Amino acid sequence: MEIMLRCDLPDRPGALASLAGAVADAGGDIQAVDVVEQAEGRALDDLVVVAEPEAVSALLGRIEALDDFSLVHAGPSRGHPGDAATRLAVGLESLLNGAMTLDHAVAALAGGLLRAGQADLVPAAAAPRETDRRIVLAVDERVVVLSRDYRFTPTERGRAEAIVRACVQAALCRVQDPTRS
pLDDT, tens only, 93-119: 888 888 888 888 888 888 888 888 899
pLDDT, tens only, 115-137: 888 999 999 999 999 999 999 99
C-alpha gyration radius of the chain: 18
pLDDT for 124 equals 95
Mean pLDDT, residues 21-48 taken together = 93
Mean pLDDT, residues 8-14 taken together = 96
Distance CA 106, CA 14 (A): 38
Taking each helix axis from N to C terminus, what angle separates 154-176 and 83-96, rounded to the nearest 10 degrees? 30
C-alpha torsion 144→134→77→42, nearest 10: 130
**pLDDT-derived band at 90, boundaries 50, 70, 90:** confident
User: Is the backbone of residue 94 left (phi > 0), alpha (psi -120 to 50) or beta?
Assistant: alpha
pLDDT, tens only, 35-50: 999 999 999 999 999 9
Model-level pTM greater than 0.75? no
The percent of residues above 90 in pLDDT, for the chain, comes to: 60
- Tell me which of 20-29, 60-69, 88-97 is least confident: 88-97
Give the per-residue SS3 of the chain: CEEEEEEEEECCCCHHHHHHHHHHHCCCEEEEEEEEEEECCEEEEEEEEECCHHHHHHHHHHHHHCCCCEEEEEEECCCCCCHHHHHHHHHHHHHHCCCCCHHHHHHHHHHHHCCCCEEEEEEHHHCCCCECCEEEEECCCEEEEEECCCCCCHHHHHHHHHHHHHHHHHHHHHHHCCCCC
**Do residues 175 and 158 lie in contact, with contact meaning Cβ atoms separated by under 8 Å?**
no
